Chains A and B, each alone.
Chain A
């Protein structure tokens, strides 16, 4: 049998399977912790830092830290919420994001978080970094202006032999996601779609289908990010109770 542990989130008693990551454990207990670089079923990267919580007074990322017996976790505090906002604001100023013109508007997790956090204007100056658009691949349109460098594509999309198709190139401010020339050439429709789907923003798009779902019918058009899954989870739990 799976071992259970008990811990608290903002003083609320919670239980979860030992070894599960704090984000997942929280979700099981009906608590949403915002994430961005995390993607279900893929090894967490812990790079965006949006999911930062405090565990026994220390800042840790909820997507990479397993729960343990007796942990005291803080999620919804003024300090942490401000730090999360700041991360989202930083991403908006690092890239060049023009939501109204973006194919992913309404499906974009960055945009959705900004709405959820009610961000009006970033506290940081826009950096106007020069970024390229790479439309040279047969299936994929790759707009680096919108990339938030979450590495989701790198981790989730591999070829049939497990080789990387996307890479993290260079370092520091110069890091960019790069698509393998050869593997990009032969990319299957299925993997191309997957790449678009795992991309939280509008950086990886499959050519010619960007507006397939009309605006208004998109994921976060009516329900803010974070509420869907928690309500789902909650109804799930209630079913169990019955």
Chain B
């Protein structure tokens, strides 16, 4: 890109520094990285310093200031990817290219990345933004050979496009939905525009809020905050303008339900955004879409266009007077923490995705300082059904404190991984049976930030008062090494994804990992055990939910699988310095050709 071309991009975003993430994405799309020289041009055009550009850029996984190849492969390294054979695929890439992960050879770069939301079809990778699923070492070599021939990325797909909307003209991906059980959100019982036109248009915003409150609907993004109450706070907050965000950053490893909803029910989701905006009094909506799902962007834009044409978005949606509302799509650039609502807002303002201090809460002071509501994809879909059928209707489903359904993402060791929309209140046992799981050793509920649950607890039920979950459920059978494979992988994930602000969050997970390594190497003692527990306790003083839960893999496995640790520690020793003099002097002994005399 020439300087003039960069300036054209800047102009397109009105030289607005709050659109820095969009600007960087567009400029990087040309050749996969942004040189120092381009950074200078961007800084100048936006009237900010170069470090202002760099501090945003360096935060996100998918931005680079160095070339990452004409083709860039981001291979998922999540737990489920590992379980499904990622290491063999990674090996094949490395051997075929003769370089290591994190490097570029023959203009092809290979990099790790955190869960890309494909746990039902792992191993999977993003190649120049396109999703490749069900990879094998054979496919890895084939892909590299195709790249050598200079093929277009889409020409490298080995099979037909995925099911349903995945194969539509604007998506054209090989991703499959794997919908195993449908409920009010995923069934076919939804007619575009009808609820807005026939029902919403006849209600006042207060009536909408009351209906949602009556339904006892709680947020599906993980935290479970009552939706109606959040909207009421936001409606009552004073601000010249209000914003509604849909959180489609879905980054919790093992979760992929929002991907499927976005693919199959975008109309319902956007109508839910209209409902929410009407209730809180928002004039602008932003769908924050994780970069990993950018293959859906054109398709979603098209749905928005249709809604505008049908009079359900833009000026007076559904013909409602004094109500204007439009939606734009904001792409992320690779950072799990941006799913945290205040980090999401920061990111949408073109900044580093660092969570904010609260108070003030986003409902008081959010995007650009205006009152802002952030809701999960699934929450906003549920809202449409509440408006359609009434709050009472939702309360007839689920349990007393958890009304309605939950869309679960089930993956790991089972015959039928995929999407299950179930009423709240099913026990783990029942769900395992549904998914065809056998010899289950453990289930990870709610992703790495949730809990590792042992079989004694499989009669516990999914609901906010027992096992609350954002929907990720990873099944682990007896062949898995829970400490080495699971706890370690999750801890690495949190180490990588911390924003780096808080002292405990930046340090403790690494120290815990080192402890765990010692224990796994057979060098651990009871002291390491106690230290781990005490140190993990420090995580509660971190600023945000990531920091609060980043030690959960260790804490919950210590709680529920204590014997695995106990089997590994040295019972006869109180203390082990971890220092092995024999191996420390081995190299010098070899050099002088002497036996160590220890």
B50 CB, nearest partner CB in chain A, Å: 6
**Which residue of A45, A64, A90 contacts B507 across the interface (Cβ within 8 Å)?**
A90
Cβ-defined contact, A172 with B497, below 8 A? yes
**B566 on the A face (CB < 8 A):** no
Q: Is the CB of A173 within 8 A of B510?
A: yes
The answer to whether the Cβ of A212 comes within 8 Å of any Cβ in the partner chain is no
Given contacts A86-B504, A165-B51, A180-B49, 11 further A-B contacts (CB under 8 A): A46-B543, A49-B502, A49-B543, A86-B538, A87-B504, A167-B51, A168-B500, A169-B58, A173-B500, A178-B54, A180-B51
Contact sample, A vs B, 30 pairs, CB 8 Å cutoff: A44-B357, A45-B357, A46-B357, A47-B502, A47-B503, A47-B543, A48-B502, A49-B543, A50-B503, A59-B541, A64-B357, A83-B541, A87-B538, A125-B511, A148-B503, A149-B503, A149-B506, A163-B52, A164-B48, A164-B49, A167-B55, A171-B498, A172-B496, A172-B498, A172-B500, A173-B498, A173-B500, A180-B51, A182-B50, A183-B51
Is B138 an interface residue, CB under 8 A from the partner?
no
Cα-based distance from A210 to B543 in the complex (angstroms): 35
B-contacting residues, A23-82, CB 8 Å: 44-50, 52, 59, 61, 64-66
Contacts of B49 in A (CB 8 A): 159, 163-165, 180, 182-183
Q: Is B540 an interface residue (CB 8 A)?
A: yes
Contacts of B510 in A (CB 8 A): 127, 173
Interface readout for A70-109 with B: 1 if CB under 8 Å, 0 if not?
Answer: 0000000000000100110011011000000000000000
Does any Cβ of B come within 8 Å of A13's Cβ? no
Tell me whether B514 is interfacial, beta carbon within 8 Å.
Answer: yes
* Interface residue from A86, A167, A175 paired with B52 (Cβ < 8 Å): A167
Within 8 A of A (CB), among B527-545: 531, 535, 538, 540-543
Q: For residue A46, which residues in chain B have a CB less than 8 angstroms away from its CB? A: 357, 543
Residue of B nearest to A84 (CB): B541
Q: How far is the CA of A35 from the CA of B59 in the complex (A)?
A: 26
Given the interface pairs A49-B542, A167-B54, A168-B352, the reply to whether A124 lies near B498 with Cβ below 8 Å is no
A173 touching B51 by the CB < 8 A rule?
Answer: no
For residue A238, CB closer than 8 A to chain B, the reply is: no
Cβ–Cβ contact A163 & B48, under 8 A:
yes
Q: Point out the residue from B50, B500, B508 that lies within 8 Å of A175, measured CB to CB.
A: B500
- Interface positions, chain A 166-189, Cβ under 8 Å from B, are 166-175, 178-183
Q: How far is the CA of A123 from the CA of B532 in the complex (A)?
A: 12
Contacts of A165 in B (CB 8 A): 49, 51
Q: Shortest distance in angstroms between B58's beta carbon and chain A's nearest beta carbon? A: 5
Q: Are B58 and A171 in contact (CB under 8 A)?
A: yes
B452 interface contact, C-beta 8 A:
no
Please report which residues of chain A, range 93-143, place their CB below 8 angstroms from some CB of chain B when the two chains form the complex.
Answer: 93-94, 123-125, 127
Q: Indicate whether B467 reaches chain A with its CB closer than 8 angstroms.
A: no
A170 touches B58 (CB 8 A): yes
Bound-state Cα–Cα, A181 to B542, Å: 32
The prevalent SS among residues of B at the interface is: helix
- Report B490-528 CB contacts with A as 1/0, cut-off 8 Å: 000001111111111011101100100000000000000
Partner of A171, one of B48, B54, B59, B543: B59
B20 shortest CB reach to chain A, Å: 13
Residue B212 CB within 8 A of the other chain:
no
In whole angstroms, how far apart are the Cα atoms of A151 and B501 in the complex?
Answer: 9
CB closest residue in chain B, given A148: B503
How far is A178 from B56 in the complex, measured between Cα atoms in Å? 13
Contact A174 B542 (CB under 8 A): no
Tell me, rounded to whole Å, the shortest Cβ–Cβ distance linking B349 to chain A.
15
- What's the nearest-Cβ distance from chain B to residue A128, in Å? 12
Q: Which residue from chain B places its CB closest to the CB of A79 in the assembled complex?
A: B537
Task: Kindly list chain B residues whose C-beta atoms are within 8 Å of the C-beta of A178.
Answer: 51, 54-55
Smallest Cβ distance from A40 to chain B, in angstroms? 17
Q: Which residues of A contact B496 (CB under 8 A)?
A: 172
Q: How far is the CA of A47 from the CA of B505 in the complex (A)?
A: 10
Partner of B495, one of A91, A151, A170, A173: A173
Choose among A86, A123, A169 the residue that contacts B55 (Cβ–Cβ < 8 A): A169
**Chain A: minimal CB distance from B61 (Å):** 9
Q: How far is the CB of B18 from chain A (nearest CB, A)?
A: 15
A148 cross-chain contacts in B, Cβ below 8 A: 503
Please determine whether A49 and B48 come into contact, CB atoms closer than 8 angstroms.
no
The 5 closest A-B pairs by CB, nearest first: A167-B51, A175-B500, A167-B55, A64-B357, A163-B49
A90: chain B residues at CB < 8 Å are: 503-504, 507-508
0/1 string, A7-18, CB within 8 A of B gives 1: 000000000000
Chain B, Cβ-Cβ closest to A159 = B49
**Given A46-B543, A47-B543, A90-B504, is A164 in contact with B538 using a C-beta cutoff of 8 Å?**
no
Q: Is B150 an interface residue (CB 8 A)?
A: no
A94, B496: Cα distance in complex, Å: 16
The answer for the CA separation of A59 and B541 in the assembled complex, in Å, is 6
B47, B58, B496, B498: which has the most chain A beta carbons within 10 Å?
B58
For the complex, is B335 an interface residue (Cβ under 8 Å from A)?
yes
A59 to B54 CA separation, bound complex (whole angstroms): 33
**Inter-chain contacts of A163 with B (CB < 8 A):** 47-49, 52
Centre residue among B335, B501, B508, B514 by max chain A CB count within 10 A: B501
> Measured between C-beta atoms, what is the minimum distance from A120 to chain B in Å?
17
CB distance from A27 to the nearest CB of B (A): 19
Q: A183 to B535: give the CA distance in the assembly, Å.
A: 40
- Which residue of chain B has its CB nearest to the CB of A49? B541
From 43 to 92 in chain B, residues with beta carbon under 8 angstroms from any chain A beta carbon are 47-52, 54-55, 58-59
Q: Given A164-B49, A172-B506, are A124 and B59 also a contact pair (CB < 8 Å)?
A: no
Contact B503 A48 (CB under 8 A): yes
CB pair B543–A173 under 8 Å, yes or no, is: no
* Complex CA distance for A45 and B504, rounded to whole angstroms: 15
Partner of A124, one of B50, B352, B497, B511: B511
